[in-house]
């Protein structure tokens, strides 16, 4: 993928720390390095609290990294301010998890989907109805929905409106943070099909966070597995089942007994508990739960290392000179 696809976003050594009560520091993201490619989906998986949303908020320029930088088309976007930041926001949009909370209930659908276009003066007020109809049709909703209010729609329809709004400015990247998790499975399936079709037609890159690992597996061209603020493995979705190497990823895969596996619940096939992000261990973040933990794992943090094409893993088992 790295060779055949255009790189549009690159996270370099991105770390995010929050101050916590008692003068302590919470490390939500630790030295994240990854790329997003045009027209491709990056899936991010890992247990609740591992730092997925934090990372995506930085990609969306909603928060600034404490260290490191994020490049969009080679340009550092982490320090953008004022009008430059406002203009840049057109490139990276998001679909909210629960559109019923994200939308102003007093606004008509046409005002909701056209708001970004009006903000950036891409259309005039007089062109609003037509633009709204065009956007609604893109997400397979009748043009007449432009005159409705959010409460007159189903959850799935509202999520389509959320996607239409995200599409309005023709962004290169759309972030979907649990964007389909609140929907019924059958509705979720139709939304996913829509996202896949839109990606094919418009060459959009998705940053896709989802609890359902089977879904991510089928959808994501690359999956980043996060644990305690770290990326422990990156590999193509289709290879995560049989080809993953990191003991944590393998544990996650072993834990999937039904397709609705929910990461927000403890994972029983992996013993022990996730350490607190207030108390990052020295060495490998997964050491206390890893059955293959070695002496070096307690001292030295393993770095992400390329083990084969499109596959990187941060684990001393696969360190320099070791067999895979
Ligand atoms: P995920 O999306 O994977 O569930 P988050 O990125 O939301 O995880 O959170 C990662 C860690 O950072 C958690 O421990 C969370 O409590 C903490 N965190 C997130 N946002 C903030 C914040 N604004 N202030 C302090 N801590 C935060
Ligand atoms: Mg989250």
Per-residue pLDDT tens over the stretch 37-70 = 999 999 999 999 999 999 999 999 999 999 999 9
Residue 324 has pLDDT above 60, yes or no: no
Question: Which atom of ligand 1 is found nearest the CA of 44?
Answer: 3
d(CA 75, CA 6): 15
**What pLDDT is recorded for position 263?**
59
| CA proximity to 214, closest of 252, 244, 247, 186 | 252
User: Do residues 45 and 99 make contact, with C-beta atoms less than 8 angstroms apart?
Assistant: no
Model confidence, pTM: 0.93
Atom 15 of ligand 1, nearest CA residue: 49
**What pLDDT is recorded for position 39?**
97
Q: pLDDT tens digit string along 196-211?
A: 999 999 999 999 998 8
Q: From the CB of 28, is ligand 1 less than 6 Å away?
A: yes
Residue 76 has pLDDT above 50, yes or no: yes
**What pLDDT is recorded for position 181?**
86
- Give every CB contact of residue 305 below 8 A, 6+ residues apart in sequence: 312, 313, 314, 318, 319, 320
Q: What percent of the chain has pLDDT over 90?
A: 81
* Listed residues: CB within 5 A of ion ligand 2: 53
Atom 21 of ligand 1, nearest CA residue: 18
Atom 24 of ligand 1, nearest CA residue: 18
Residue 2 has pLDDT above 90, yes or no: no
Residue 259 has pLDDT above 50, yes or no: no
Give 275 Cα–ligand 1 centroid separation in angstroms: 14
Give 115 Cα–ligand 2 centroid separation in angstroms: 26
Q: What percent of the chain has pLDDT over 70?
A: 93
Pocket test for ligand 1, best of 51, 64, 276 (most atoms within 8 A of CB): 51
Report residue 257's pLDDT band, with 50, 70 and 90 as the boundaries: very low
Residue 1 has pLDDT above 70, yes or no: no
Q: What value does the CA radius of gyration of the chain take, rounded to a whole number of Å?
A: 21
Q: Which one is predicted more confidently, 195 or 101?
A: 195
Q: pLDDT tens digit string along 266-320?
A: 565 677 888 999 988 899 999 999 999 999 999 999 999 999 999 999 999 997 7
* CA distances in angstroms from 214 to 56, 223, 264, listed in the order given: 21, 11, 15
**What pLDDT is recorded for position 269?**
64
* Range in 65-74, 95-104, 174-183, 185-194 with the lowest mean pLDDT: 95-104
Please give the mean pLDDT across all residues of the chain. Answer: 92
Q: From the CB of 26, is ligand 1 less than 6 Å away?
A: yes
Residue 255 has pLDDT above 70, yes or no: no
């Amino acid at each position: 993928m790295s060779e055949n696809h255009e790189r549009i976003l690159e996270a370099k050594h991105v770390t995010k720390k929050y101050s916590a009560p008692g003068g302590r520091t919470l490390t939500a993201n630790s030295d994240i390095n990854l790329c997003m490619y045009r027209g491709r989906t990056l899936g991010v998986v890992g247990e609740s609290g591992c730092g997925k949303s934090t990372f995506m908020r930085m990609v969306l320029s909603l928060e600034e990294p404490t260290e490191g930088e994020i490049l969009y088309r080679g340009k550092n976007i982490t320090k953008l301010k004022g009008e430059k930041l406002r203009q840049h926001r057109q490139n990276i949009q998001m679909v909210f998890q629960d559109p019923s909370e994200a939308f102003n209930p007093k606004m008509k659908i046409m005002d909701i989907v056209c708001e970004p276009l009006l903000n950036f003066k891409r259309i005039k007020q007089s062109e609003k109805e037509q633009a709204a109809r065009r956007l609604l049709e893109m997400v397979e909703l009748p043009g007449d929905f432009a005159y409705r209010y959010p409460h007159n729609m189903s959850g799935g329809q509202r999520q389509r409106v959320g996607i239409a709004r995200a599409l309005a400015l023709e962004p290169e990247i759309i972030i979907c943070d649990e964007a389909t998790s609140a929907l019924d499975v059958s509705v979720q399936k139709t939304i996913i099909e829509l996202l896949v079709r839109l990606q094919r037609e418009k060459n959009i890159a998705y940053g896709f966070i989802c609890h359902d690992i089977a879904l991510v597996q089928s959808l994501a061209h690359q999956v980043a597995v996060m644990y305690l603020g770290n990326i422990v493995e990156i590999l193509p979705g289709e290879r995560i089942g049989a080809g993953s190497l990191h003991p944590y990823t393998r544990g996650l895969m072993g834990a999937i007994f039904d397709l609705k596996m929910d990461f927000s619940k403890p994972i029983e096939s992996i013993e022990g508990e996730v350490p607190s992000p207030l108390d990052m261990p020295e060495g490998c973040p997964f050491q206390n739960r890893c059955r293959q933990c070695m002496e070096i794992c307690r001292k030295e943090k393993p770095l992400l290392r390329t083990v084969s094409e499109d596959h990187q893993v941060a684990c001393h088992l696969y360190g320099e000179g070791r067999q895979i």
